[in-house]
Structure formats: structure tokens, C-alpha cells
A and B are shown apart, each in its own frame.
Chain A
């Protein structure tokens, strides 16, 4: 009896230790010195560079081409999730139509690249600007709405973009646009086929030549975009902008009372999130050769939101982990055929039931969840939040 109890106690504390692991890693990281940090960054980048190697791919995706998967969906979803995280995780605005900005980026690449003959690098800049402007166009009239009302409007926006593309013959209608040019090669430089490069699968690789066969250069392009996005968003988060977003997310009214121009910052979050989505679209389009409206269905928005929430809304490493999982799991279990989606859904439900704050939540988000607002603005409208004041809405109740 006592023995059983003791072992049970041991198991419980073991589970607790396991759960406290991310906390300890995070605290250790917060106290780490600069050289330690930079070596970890370097190690992560080296790891990302050798990731397409066959010996990793054989395990990670025995059934499909690993470097194709790494480019899209894995890399693409990670970049998109980082962008959506600015909107949902940082500013607390529920966006269910994020795929629209991905589509805008993709179509920008297709139209300017194929019809006007611009090159990839020029289009990348223009694509960012166009996506950001479309974010402002969507945000300006709608960001006065809150919670689920905003979610419905953004969902509508995502559908409008896709359906407009399908019904506009000038951009190919349902057949989309094909013959999108690849990016021009930056250099013909080839990695020599000697050890250790041969072992790492990098021998004879031309990392800056964008052809039709080797997917790895595109993956490195996506990787570069991801690294730039991380640095950019991280710098924003640690600035006044990040603090303003945090305040807006946790209590919008209180933020306004602190002198934060909440509307402007929400609009900025939309524009920045949208421009990252645009980058993902341009890079995706430059590899895909052809895009069709059906590439940008609502489910992509939903999956990306799942990635952000699952990984730990507001925490970049968590969000990237979430995006990796939602992109990779269905591919890894291809042998389950159609059942894989069922299992994927089951896994999502299970993970959210066991860890509602996400796999790698930030400490802040944990505190926000404990407070009850969920740290996603007032996602469930103004009903259960402690700041809602129902008695103010019906002043006639006394009569």
C-alpha cells in the first residue's frame, strides 16, 4: 500500500519535472551570456543547413522527398506561423483569414514574374509592400471590432481573396497562373564533394542556383527568410512596439488608458504579419512554377492558427515547433493513408486538452491564461472577461 503510494508519488513528481523542463530551459536561457547565446544560434543554423541530408530524411519522411517537405509545407508554415504569431500571439487579434496574405504574395510573384518579367528579388520587395498595404486595407475598417467579430471579418477576407482570384480571368481564374519563373541564380558556386561535406549530403550542392530539380536551394532561401523574420520580429518585441502589443493583448482598454495608441499598433501588427505572409507567398510562388486559387483554402489559415496556439502563442520557438509539427506529422504518417488526418486531429485535441497553454508557452502567456482572458485579447467576446461590465450595457434595468 505504502509502496504503491510512494511509486505513484514518484511518477507524479516525475511528470511534474518533465513539465517544468521548458521553464528551466527558459530561465537558463534568460540568464545565458552573449557568447553562449551566439554559439547556440550558430549551432541551430548549422543544424538547419545540414537538415536536408538523407540520413535525417530517411527517418523524418521515408515516403516523400524530405527537402521538398522542408521547403513547403514545413519551412513555409514556420514562416507563416511566425507572421501570424505577430497578429495573434503578440497583439492578441484573432485572424482567421491569414492565408489571404500568403495568396497575395504568391499572386504577386506570379503576375509580376510571368506577365511583367520582373525578377524574384524585385518582386520580393514589392510583394512585401503589397501584402502590408492589403493588411492595412483589411485592418483599417475592421480593427475596431474585437474578439470573435474580428475573426469572422478576417475569415471573410480570406475567402474574398481566394474567390476573387478564382473568378478573375485576367489572372487565370480557377486554373491560376503557370510558368512562374524561378529566381535567378545568385552564383554557380558548388560545394566540393569532399569530406565532411559528402557525409553531410552537401557534396556537389549548388546552394545559390535555383533550378527545377534540386529543392535544397529553395529550402535555404526559405531558411534565410525565416532567420530574417525571427531577427526582425524579435527586435520589435523587445522595443516599445512589443510592449504596446503586449498591453493591447492583455487589456486593450487599460492600454489606451496608459497612452498607447491602440488602434495604430493593432494596424501595425496586421501590416507586419501580412508582410511576412507576403514573403512566404513570394518564395513559395518562385518555386511552385504554377499557383491556383485552390492552393489557398481556409484550412491553411486554420492549420496555421492551430500551429500558433499549439506551440505556445506569443513565444517564437514554441510557434515554430507548432508549425513544424502541424506540417510534418501528416506527412510522416502517410502510411496511414486517409486515417492520418483523423490521427492528426486526435493528436491536436489531446495536446490541447493536456497542455492548453501550448507546448512551449511564454511565462507571460501562462499568467494571462491563469487570469482567464486567455491572452488572446478577449477571444470569446466580452462575456467572461473580468473587465466586461454587463451592467453598463443595460442601464434601464432598474426600471
Chain B
């Protein structure tokens, strides 16, 4: 097992954001974490990458307990993250942003740089442009490319589709598949559940700080409960599917214990971030 998160609890002040969450990521997988706003997806990723301290539980990465390791050392251990909202350095050029990605590593990063430019030819074209002046899609590419510069064993992606046009979302997701094919394990957090489930091997469904379901991604795509809650307005659904999903949502046997599905499906497409 490459990454094991065991029963972690995370608090913001007195508010518990994560209440006993466990996930496992196997070498070479794409695992996705789906859930509504505020379910704790981003907090989970931040806790794995060391930006948030955990109050209980532990995180084991590559056989070692990293629960107490500071974030900047987890990068060297092999955890790379593209943060929510992309976190591109606005005042640095694309090339400088990418070089920041290999800040912690010793030795030359030319090989990784060439690989990132090969994955994202767009970044090579815009090498000398300031990060802050790029479009949302380009910034997302930059954030992913920058995380790859550290040669991570596992790549944590926080909502790579946020605020992007559907066409760009497709492109980003196919690049994620390509990155995984080249040997990097991916843990993907998404609100765009349909897209995420279509590329992932396994998936966890997160609700208010707890895992409520875990299964192979393909199974969840057909799960009526998941369809109703997270795929309601999925781009790949027909009208009949949506009607069926709404019916399923209205049926009492699948209504969730904590108050039912959110009124709207997940935000999708190029809604402003």
C-alpha cells in the first residue's frame, strides 16, 4: 500500500471537519474522492500533504508514519499536490513556477522540465509569461506540471476541473490519465463526479467528514444513490437518466440519513470559480 490514511480527525478550531476518515491508495491507481461542498475533500488532501495538522489517527506513506512530518518534507518523501484554486505563483514566470516545483530536490531537474513541457506543450509556449496572467486552464496545467517537477510517487489533485470550460476539463482529465499511465499514482478530489469516476479505478464518497461509500469507480457510476446525489446534472447523462435519477432521489429507500441530496447537482462546466 502506497498511502494509508487511518481514522484521521481534523479540526478547524472546535469544528470537526474530518471525523474518522480512512482511505487507502495502492501503487499505480487513480483513486478519487467525491462529495459535495464542505464534505471535507480539500481538508483531507491538505492533511495528507501536511498543510493541516491532524488531531487523531495517522497517515502512513510508503511504509513510514508521516503524521507528524512537516509539509515541506513530505514533498521530498514523494507527495506532490496541485492545490485547490491552483496556487500558481502570480509574479513568477511559467518557467520559474516550474523550477519552484523542484525547489526541494537536489541536482538538475532538466529531465522533469522536458517531460512537463512534453505533457503540456502550452506551458512550453508560454514559458516567459507571468503565472498570474494565464487563463484558468493554463494555470491548472501549470499547477499540475509544477507538482510533477518534484517527481512525486503520489500526485494529489484538488479539483482540477474547477472553473474550467468543458472542453478543457476533458483535456485535463486525459492528461491525468496519461500521467498515471507513466507510473504516478493519483489521488483526485473532484466535484465533477461524472468525470472523476470515468477515469478512476476506485472511488470514495465523502459526506460531512466521513466516508459513506467506497467501491470501484465503475460501480459507483451505476449506483443509483450516487447518481442521484452527485451525477444529477452530469454532462454524460441523457434526459431519461436524469428523470430516473430524480425519481430515485425522491424514493424513500435511497434518501440519505442526513437529510437527502443537495438541491442542485455539482457545479460543472465553466462556471466562475
Contacts and interface: CB of A to CB of B under 8 A. Distances in A.
A338 interface: no
Contact of A367 (B12, B103, B130): B130
Contacts of B89: 246-247, 250-251, 254
A399 B72 CA distance: 35
B83 A258 contact: no
Interface stretch (A37-45, A131-139, A168-176, A385-393): A385-393
Contact of B87 (A246, A253, A368, A395): A253
A365 interface: yes
B15 A395 contact: yes
A235 interface: no
A244 interface: yes
A312 B133 CA distance: 20
B164 to A, nearest CB: 14
B161 to A, nearest CB: 16
B32 to A, nearest CB: 18
Contacts of A231: none
A389 B85 contact: yes
Interface stretch (A16-24, A74-82, A369-377): A369-377
A258 B90 contact: no
Interface in B2-32: 12, 15-17
A392 B73 CA distance: 24
A62 B1 CA distance: 78
Contacts of B42: 389, 392
A271 B101 CA distance: 26
A372 to B, nearest CB: 8
A364 interface: yes
B15 A394 contact: yes
A360 to B, nearest CB: 15
B90 A257 contact: no
Which of B37, B132, B150, B208 gathers most chain A CB within 10 Å? B132
A252 to B, nearest CB: 9
B42 to A, nearest CB: 5
A257 B81 contact: yes
Q: Give the interface size bracket for A toward B.
A: 35 or more
Nearest to A264: B72
Given A260-B103, A370-B133, A387-B87, A399 B71 contact: no
Contact of B83 (A373, A387, A391, A396): A387
Contacts of B132: 367-368, 370-371
Contacts of A262: 72
Interface of A: 240, 243-244, 246-247, 250-251, 253-262, 362-368, 370-371, 373, 375, 386-387, 389, 391-399
30 contacts: A243-B96, A244-B103, A247-B89, A247-B92, A247-B100, A251-B89, A253-B46, A254-B88, A257-B49, A257-B51, A257-B80, A258-B101, A262-B72, A367-B133, A368-B91, A371-B132, A375-B90, A375-B91, A387-B87, A392-B17, A392-B43, A393-B15, A393-B17, A394-B38, A395-B17, A395-B39, A395-B40, A395-B209, A397-B37, A399-B208
Given A253-B46, A364-B130, A395-B17, 14 more contacts: A243-B100, A257-B71, A258-B75, A258-B101, A375-B91, A387-B84, A387-B87, A392-B43, A393-B12, A393-B17, A394-B38, A395-B208, A398-B262, A399-B208
Interface of B: 12, 15-17, 36-40, 42-43, 46, 49-51, 70-73, 75-76, 80-81, 83-92, 96, 100-101, 103-105, 130-133, 146-147, 150, 207-209, 258-259, 262, 273
